[in-house]
Structure 1
Protein backbone atom coordinates (compact mmCIF):
# COMPACT_ATOMS: atom_id res chain seq x y z
CA UNK A 1 0.00 0.00 0.00
CA UNK A 2 2.94 2.37 0.63
CA UNK A 3 4.76 1.54 -2.60
CA UNK A 4 3.74 1.85 -6.24
CA UNK A 5 2.86 -1.17 -8.31
CA UNK A 6 2.43 -1.60 -12.04
CA UNK A 7 -1.32 -1.22 -11.50
CA UNK A 8 -1.43 1.79 -9.18
CA UNK A 9 0.14 4.48 -7.05
CA UNK A 10 1.20 3.81 -3.47
CA UNK A 11 0.36 6.01 -0.51
CA UNK A 12 3.74 7.82 -0.55
CA UNK A 13 3.31 8.88 -4.20
CA UNK A 14 -0.28 9.92 -3.58
CA UNK A 15 0.69 12.04 -0.57
CA UNK A 16 3.54 13.67 -2.53
CA UNK A 17 1.12 14.46 -5.37
CA UNK A 18 -1.65 16.06 -3.32
CA UNK A 19 0.59 17.88 -0.83
CA UNK A 20 2.60 19.30 -3.73
CA UNK A 21 -0.54 20.34 -5.60
CA UNK A 22 -2.05 22.11 -2.59
CA UNK A 23 1.27 23.76 -1.71
CA UNK A 24 1.85 25.00 -5.26
CA UNK A 25 -1.65 26.49 -5.46
CA UNK A 26 -1.20 28.09 -2.04
CA UNK A 27 2.20 29.53 -2.95
CA UNK A 28 0.83 30.95 -6.19
CA UNK A 29 -2.08 32.60 -4.36
CA UNK A 30 0.23 33.96 -1.65
CA UNK A 31 2.70 35.24 -4.24
CA UNK A 32 -0.02 36.99 -6.20
CA UNK A 33 -1.48 38.50 -3.02
CA UNK A 34 1.97 39.72 -1.90
CA UNK A 35 2.43 41.81 -5.05
CA UNK A 36 -0.23 44.26 -3.80
CA UNK A 37 1.08 44.65 -0.25
CA UNK A 38 2.10 48.15 0.77
CA UNK A 39 5.24 48.94 2.74
CA UNK A 40 3.27 49.51 5.95
CA UNK A 41 1.19 46.37 5.64
CA UNK A 42 1.95 43.97 8.52
CA UNK A 43 2.44 41.15 5.97
CA UNK A 44 4.92 43.14 3.83
CA UNK A 45 7.87 41.22 5.34
CA UNK A 46 5.99 38.26 6.82
CA UNK A 47 4.35 37.18 3.53
CA UNK A 48 7.61 36.80 1.57
CA UNK A 49 9.26 35.03 4.52
CA UNK A 50 6.43 32.47 4.65
CA UNK A 51 6.47 32.17 0.83
CA UNK A 52 10.24 31.54 0.74
CA UNK A 53 10.14 29.10 3.66
CA UNK A 54 7.36 27.00 2.18
CA UNK A 55 9.05 27.20 -1.23
CA UNK A 56 12.29 25.74 0.13
CA UNK A 57 10.37 22.94 1.90
CA UNK A 58 8.56 22.23 -1.38
CA UNK A 59 11.89 22.11 -3.20
CA UNK A 60 13.18 19.53 -0.73
CA UNK A 61 9.94 17.54 -1.03
CA UNK A 62 10.15 17.69 -4.84
CA UNK A 63 13.69 16.30 -4.80
CA UNK A 64 12.50 13.50 -2.47
CA UNK A 65 9.49 12.93 -4.74
CA UNK A 66 11.70 12.62 -7.82
CA UNK A 67 14.00 10.15 -6.04
CA UNK A 68 10.95 8.14 -4.90
CA UNK A 69 9.53 8.17 -8.42
CA UNK A 70 12.84 6.98 -9.85
CA UNK A 71 13.00 4.09 -7.37
CA UNK A 72 9.37 2.99 -7.77
CA UNK A 73 7.57 1.40 -10.70
CA UNK A 74 5.32 3.72 -12.67
CA UNK A 75 1.77 2.39 -12.99
CA UNK A 76 0.66 1.77 -16.54
CA UNK A 77 -1.23 4.64 -18.12
CA UNK A 78 -4.77 4.23 -19.32
CA UNK A 79 -5.83 5.51 -22.72
CA UNK A 80 -4.56 5.53 -26.27
CA UNK A 81 -0.89 5.66 -27.18
CA UNK A 82 -1.25 9.35 -28.03
CA UNK A 83 -2.83 10.05 -24.63
CA UNK A 84 -0.04 8.11 -22.91
CA UNK A 85 2.64 10.14 -24.70
CA UNK A 86 0.81 13.41 -23.93
CA UNK A 87 0.51 12.41 -20.26
CA UNK A 88 4.21 11.60 -20.05
CA UNK A 89 5.19 14.91 -21.68
CA UNK A 90 2.73 16.77 -19.45
CA UNK A 91 4.14 15.22 -16.28
CA UNK A 92 7.72 15.97 -17.31
CA UNK A 93 6.72 19.56 -18.11
CA UNK A 94 5.08 19.91 -14.69
CA UNK A 95 8.25 18.72 -12.94
CA UNK A 96 10.45 21.03 -15.02
CA UNK A 97 8.22 24.05 -14.36
CA UNK A 98 8.06 23.32 -10.62
CA UNK A 99 11.86 23.21 -10.50
CA UNK A 100 12.22 26.38 -12.62
CA UNK A 101 9.78 28.25 -10.37
CA UNK A 102 11.59 27.18 -7.21
CA UNK A 103 15.12 27.75 -8.48
CA UNK A 104 14.21 31.19 -9.84
CA UNK A 105 12.58 32.00 -6.49
CA UNK A 106 15.79 30.95 -4.76
CA UNK A 107 17.79 33.22 -7.09
CA UNK A 108 15.50 36.18 -6.32
CA UNK A 109 15.81 35.65 -2.58
CA UNK A 110 19.59 35.19 -2.55
CA UNK A 111 20.49 37.88 -5.12
CA UNK A 112 22.01 40.09 -2.41
CA UNK A 113 24.10 37.25 -0.94
CA UNK A 114 21.80 36.57 2.01
CA UNK A 115 20.69 33.04 2.77
CA UNK A 116 17.06 31.97 3.17
CA UNK A 117 15.81 31.31 6.69
CA UNK A 118 13.26 28.50 6.62
CA UNK A 119 10.88 29.32 9.48
CA UNK A 120 13.96 29.89 11.65
CA UNK A 121 14.67 26.12 11.60
CA UNK A 122 17.66 26.25 9.26
CA UNK A 123 19.17 28.53 6.65
CA UNK A 124 19.81 27.78 2.99
CA UNK A 125 22.97 29.64 1.94
CA UNK A 126 23.26 31.87 -1.11
CA UNK A 127 25.37 29.92 -3.58
CA UNK A 128 24.98 32.18 -6.61
CA UNK A 129 24.54 35.92 -6.12
CA UNK A 130 25.52 39.43 -7.26
CA UNK A 131 24.92 38.59 -10.91
CA UNK A 132 23.84 41.58 -13.05
CA UNK A 133 20.08 42.10 -12.69
CA UNK A 134 19.78 38.74 -10.90
CA UNK A 135 16.70 39.59 -8.85
CA UNK A 136 14.92 41.24 -11.77
CA UNK A 137 15.66 38.51 -14.33
CA UNK A 138 14.92 35.71 -11.86
CA UNK A 139 11.73 37.56 -10.89
CA UNK A 140 10.51 37.55 -14.49
CA UNK A 141 11.33 33.86 -14.89
CA UNK A 142 9.65 33.12 -11.56
CA UNK A 143 6.43 34.95 -12.46
CA UNK A 144 6.01 33.64 -16.01
CA UNK A 145 6.98 30.07 -15.16
CA UNK A 146 4.54 30.16 -12.22
CA UNK A 147 1.78 31.30 -14.58
CA UNK A 148 2.70 28.55 -17.06
CA UNK A 149 2.68 26.03 -14.21
CA UNK A 150 -0.84 27.09 -13.18
CA UNK A 151 -2.13 26.72 -16.74
CA UNK A 152 -0.45 23.33 -17.18
CA UNK A 153 -1.74 22.16 -13.79
CA UNK A 154 -5.27 23.21 -14.81
CA UNK A 155 -4.88 21.19 -18.01
CA UNK A 156 -3.64 18.25 -15.95
CA UNK A 157 -6.73 18.46 -13.72
CA UNK A 158 -9.07 18.76 -16.71
CA UNK A 159 -7.44 15.72 -18.35
CA UNK A 160 -7.98 13.71 -15.16
CA UNK A 161 -11.67 14.68 -15.13
CA UNK A 162 -11.98 13.75 -18.81
CA UNK A 163 -10.44 10.33 -18.11
CA UNK A 164 -12.70 9.85 -15.10
CA UNK A 165 -16.08 10.99 -16.43
CA UNK A 166 -15.89 10.57 -20.20
CA UNK A 167 -13.50 7.64 -20.65
CA UNK A 168 -14.50 5.88 -17.39
CA UNK A 169 -10.85 5.15 -16.58
CA UNK A 170 -9.64 4.65 -13.02
CA UNK A 171 -6.84 7.25 -13.35
CA UNK A 172 -8.32 9.71 -10.85
CA UNK A 173 -9.44 7.00 -8.45
CA UNK A 174 -5.92 5.53 -8.43
CA UNK A 175 -4.57 8.94 -7.32
CA UNK A 176 -7.12 9.16 -4.50
CA UNK A 177 -7.15 5.66 -3.06
CA UNK A 178 -4.02 3.48 -2.78
CA UNK A 179 -6.02 0.40 -1.76
CA UNK A 180 -8.19 0.72 -4.87
CA UNK A 181 -5.20 1.27 -7.13
CA UNK A 182 -3.52 -1.90 -5.92
CA UNK A 183 -6.50 -4.21 -6.39
CA UNK A 184 -8.51 -2.77 -9.28
CA UNK A 185 -8.60 -4.01 -12.83
CA UNK A 186 -6.84 -1.41 -14.98
CA UNK A 187 -7.25 -2.60 -18.53
CA UNK A 188 -6.47 0.04 -21.12
CA UNK A 189 -9.47 1.16 -23.13
CA UNK A 190 -9.29 2.90 -26.48
Structure 2
Protein backbone atom coordinates (compact mmCIF):
# COMPACT_ATOMS: atom_id res chain seq x y z
CA UNK A 1 0.00 0.00 0.00
CA UNK A 2 1.33 3.42 -0.92
CA UNK A 3 1.15 6.65 1.02
CA UNK A 4 -1.30 8.19 -1.46
CA UNK A 5 -4.42 6.80 -3.07
CA UNK A 6 -4.12 5.13 -6.45
CA UNK A 7 -6.78 4.50 -9.07
CA UNK A 8 -7.54 1.14 -7.46
CA UNK A 9 -6.76 1.47 -3.74
CA UNK A 10 -6.59 3.84 -0.80
CA UNK A 11 -3.24 4.90 0.60
CA UNK A 12 -1.99 4.81 4.18
CA UNK A 13 -3.07 8.36 4.93
CA UNK A 14 -6.68 7.95 3.73
CA UNK A 15 -7.03 4.60 5.51
CA UNK A 16 -5.47 5.90 8.71
CA UNK A 17 -7.60 9.05 8.82
CA UNK A 18 -10.75 7.02 8.09
CA UNK A 19 -10.19 4.63 10.98
CA UNK A 20 -8.99 7.29 13.43
CA UNK A 21 -12.11 9.38 12.79
CA UNK A 22 -14.33 6.28 12.98
CA UNK A 23 -12.82 5.22 16.31
CA UNK A 24 -13.06 8.78 17.62
CA UNK A 25 -16.70 9.22 16.60
CA UNK A 26 -17.75 5.89 18.12
CA UNK A 27 -15.71 6.55 21.27
CA UNK A 28 -17.18 10.04 21.68
CA UNK A 29 -20.69 8.68 21.22
CA UNK A 30 -20.14 6.04 23.90
CA UNK A 31 -18.52 8.54 26.23
CA UNK A 32 -21.34 11.02 25.64
CA UNK A 33 -24.05 8.44 26.38
CA UNK A 34 -22.25 7.38 29.55
CA UNK A 35 -21.40 10.82 30.90
CA UNK A 36 -24.87 12.37 30.67
CA UNK A 37 -26.00 10.11 33.50
CA UNK A 38 -23.15 11.02 35.86
CA UNK A 39 -24.13 12.77 39.07
CA UNK A 40 -22.36 15.68 40.69
CA UNK A 41 -20.79 13.33 43.24
CA UNK A 42 -19.38 10.93 40.66
CA UNK A 43 -15.59 11.12 40.35
CA UNK A 44 -15.89 11.39 36.54
CA UNK A 45 -18.45 14.24 36.65
CA UNK A 46 -15.93 16.88 35.55
CA UNK A 47 -13.29 14.66 33.95
CA UNK A 48 -15.58 12.92 31.42
CA UNK A 49 -16.88 16.14 29.79
CA UNK A 50 -13.33 17.58 29.69
CA UNK A 51 -12.13 14.40 27.99
CA UNK A 52 -15.15 14.42 25.63
CA UNK A 53 -14.47 18.01 24.56
CA UNK A 54 -10.74 17.46 24.08
CA UNK A 55 -11.19 14.31 22.02
CA UNK A 56 -13.94 16.07 20.06
CA UNK A 57 -11.51 18.81 19.01
CA UNK A 58 -9.01 16.16 17.90
CA UNK A 59 -11.68 14.26 15.94
CA UNK A 60 -12.94 17.36 14.12
CA UNK A 61 -9.34 18.30 13.32
CA UNK A 62 -8.78 14.82 11.87
CA UNK A 63 -12.04 15.12 9.92
CA UNK A 64 -10.96 18.44 8.42
CA UNK A 65 -7.57 16.92 7.54
CA UNK A 66 -9.40 13.99 5.99
CA UNK A 67 -11.54 16.32 3.90
CA UNK A 68 -8.49 18.31 2.75
CA UNK A 69 -6.65 15.06 1.95
CA UNK A 70 -9.66 13.78 -0.02
CA UNK A 71 -9.84 17.00 -2.04
CA UNK A 72 -6.09 16.95 -2.75
CA UNK A 73 -5.86 13.19 -3.26
CA UNK A 74 -9.05 11.78 -4.84
CA UNK A 75 -10.29 8.35 -3.76
CA UNK A 76 -9.90 5.32 -6.00
CA UNK A 77 -12.37 4.98 -8.82
CA UNK A 78 -15.57 3.10 -7.99
CA UNK A 79 -15.58 -0.61 -8.58
CA UNK A 80 -17.44 -1.87 -11.63
CA UNK A 81 -19.77 -3.78 -9.30
CA UNK A 82 -21.09 -0.53 -7.79
CA UNK A 83 -24.37 0.55 -9.32
CA UNK A 84 -25.22 4.18 -10.02
CA UNK A 85 -27.52 4.41 -7.00
CA UNK A 86 -24.92 2.80 -4.70
CA UNK A 87 -22.37 5.42 -5.76
CA UNK A 88 -24.89 8.24 -5.19
CA UNK A 89 -25.87 6.93 -1.73
CA UNK A 90 -22.20 6.51 -0.79
CA UNK A 91 -21.40 10.09 -1.86
CA UNK A 92 -24.40 11.42 0.07
CA UNK A 93 -23.47 9.41 3.19
CA UNK A 94 -19.86 10.63 3.07
CA UNK A 95 -20.91 14.25 2.55
CA UNK A 96 -23.38 14.00 5.44
CA UNK A 97 -20.78 12.44 7.73
CA UNK A 98 -18.28 15.21 6.99
CA UNK A 99 -20.91 17.92 7.54
CA UNK A 100 -22.41 16.32 10.64
CA UNK A 101 -19.08 15.68 12.39
CA UNK A 102 -18.10 19.29 11.79
CA UNK A 103 -21.51 20.50 13.02
CA UNK A 104 -21.07 18.31 16.13
CA UNK A 105 -17.95 20.29 16.90
CA UNK A 106 -19.75 23.61 16.60
CA UNK A 107 -22.74 22.53 18.68
CA UNK A 108 -20.40 21.14 21.36
CA UNK A 109 -18.31 24.31 21.21
CA UNK A 110 -21.43 26.45 21.75
CA UNK A 111 -22.61 24.26 24.65
CA UNK A 112 -19.26 24.84 26.35
CA UNK A 113 -18.69 28.51 25.51
CA UNK A 114 -22.25 29.90 25.64
CA UNK A 115 -21.63 31.49 29.04
CA UNK A 116 -18.26 32.97 28.11
CA UNK A 117 -15.85 30.26 29.28
CA UNK A 118 -13.19 28.92 26.91
CA UNK A 119 -13.08 25.35 25.65
CA UNK A 120 -9.92 23.76 27.05
CA UNK A 121 -8.22 20.99 25.10
CA UNK A 122 -6.35 18.65 27.47
CA UNK A 123 -5.39 21.78 29.41
CA UNK A 124 -2.76 22.41 26.69
CA UNK A 125 -4.58 25.18 24.83
CA UNK A 126 -8.04 26.70 24.75
CA UNK A 127 -10.53 27.91 22.19
CA UNK A 128 -12.02 31.23 23.33
CA UNK A 129 -15.74 31.91 23.48
CA UNK A 130 -16.80 34.05 20.53
CA UNK A 131 -20.60 34.14 20.82
CA UNK A 132 -21.89 34.64 24.35
CA UNK A 133 -24.83 37.05 24.14
CA UNK A 134 -27.47 34.67 22.77
CA UNK A 135 -30.06 33.65 25.32
CA UNK A 136 -30.68 29.90 25.35
CA UNK A 137 -27.68 29.16 23.11
CA UNK A 138 -26.43 26.38 25.37
CA UNK A 139 -29.84 24.65 25.38
CA UNK A 140 -30.37 24.90 21.62
CA UNK A 141 -26.82 23.71 20.96
CA UNK A 142 -27.41 20.80 23.35
CA UNK A 143 -30.51 19.64 21.48
CA UNK A 144 -28.69 19.95 18.15
CA UNK A 145 -25.68 18.08 19.56
CA UNK A 146 -27.85 15.17 20.68
CA UNK A 147 -29.84 14.91 17.44
CA UNK A 148 -26.75 15.15 15.28
CA UNK A 149 -25.01 12.47 17.38
CA UNK A 150 -27.82 9.98 16.81
CA UNK A 151 -27.99 10.91 13.12
CA UNK A 152 -24.27 10.28 12.74
CA UNK A 153 -24.59 6.88 14.39
CA UNK A 154 -27.54 5.98 12.12
CA UNK A 155 -25.52 6.91 9.02
CA UNK A 156 -22.48 5.02 10.36
CA UNK A 157 -24.68 1.92 10.79
CA UNK A 158 -25.87 2.23 7.18
CA UNK A 159 -22.27 2.80 6.06
CA UNK A 160 -21.11 -0.36 7.87
CA UNK A 161 -24.07 -2.33 6.49
CA UNK A 162 -23.15 -1.21 2.98
CA UNK A 163 -19.52 -2.21 3.45
CA UNK A 164 -20.54 -5.62 4.79
CA UNK A 165 -23.01 -6.07 1.91
CA UNK A 166 -20.24 -5.37 -0.57
CA UNK A 167 -17.91 -7.78 1.20
CA UNK A 168 -20.22 -10.73 1.89
CA UNK A 169 -22.97 -10.44 -0.75
CA UNK A 170 -21.30 -8.76 -3.71
CA UNK A 171 -17.89 -10.22 -2.81
CA UNK A 172 -16.10 -7.16 -4.14
CA UNK A 173 -13.08 -5.25 -2.79
CA UNK A 174 -14.88 -2.27 -1.25
CA UNK A 175 -14.12 -3.23 2.36
CA UNK A 176 -10.68 -4.63 1.55
CA UNK A 177 -9.66 -1.26 0.06
CA UNK A 178 -10.61 0.65 3.22
CA UNK A 179 -8.84 -1.90 5.39
CA UNK A 180 -5.66 -1.15 3.43
CA UNK A 181 -5.64 -4.57 1.83
CA UNK A 182 -4.83 -5.28 -1.79
CA UNK A 183 -8.03 -5.30 -3.86
CA UNK A 184 -8.83 -8.79 -5.00
CA UNK A 185 -8.58 -9.50 -8.70
CA UNK A 186 -11.79 -10.22 -10.56
TM-score band by shorter chain is over 0.9
Q: Compute the displacement of 1:130 (Å).
A: 2.7
Partner in structure 1 of residue 131 of structure 2: 128
Matches within 5 A, 1:24-103: 24-78=25-79, 79-103=82-106
Match of 1:159 in 2: 162
Partner of 2:22: 21
Shift of 1:149: 0.4
**CA-CA distance at 1:55 after TM superposition:** 0.5
Moved over 4 A (4+): none
How many Å apart are 1:76 and its aligned residue? 1.3
Shift of 1:107: 0.8
Shift in Å, 1:102: 1.4
Task: Identify the range of structure 1 (169-178 vs 41-50) with the bigger mean alpha-carbon deviation.
Answer: 169-178
C-alpha separation in 2, matches of 1:127 and 1:12: 33
* Equivalent residue, structure 2, for 1:106: 109
The one-character-per-residue Cα deviations of 1:94-133 (angstroms, maximum 9, x if unpaired) are 1111111111111111111111111111111112223110
Shift in Å, 1:139:
0.2
Instruction: Name the count of aligned residue pairs.
Output: 183
Cα deviations across residues 22-60 of structure 1 (Å, max 9, x unaligned)? 110110011111111001111110000000000011111
Q: Tell me the SS of whatever aligns to 1:2.
A: coil
Report the secondary structure of 1:25's partner residue.
helix
TM-score by length of 2: 0.94
**Structure 2 unmatched runs, 5+:** none
Task: Encode CA deviations 1:46-81: one digit per residue, 9 max, x unaligned.
Answer: 000000000011111111111111100221123111
Unaligned runs of 5+ in 1: none
Q: Following the alignment from structure 1 to structure 2, what is the Cα–Cα distance between the partners of residues 165 and 44?
A: 43
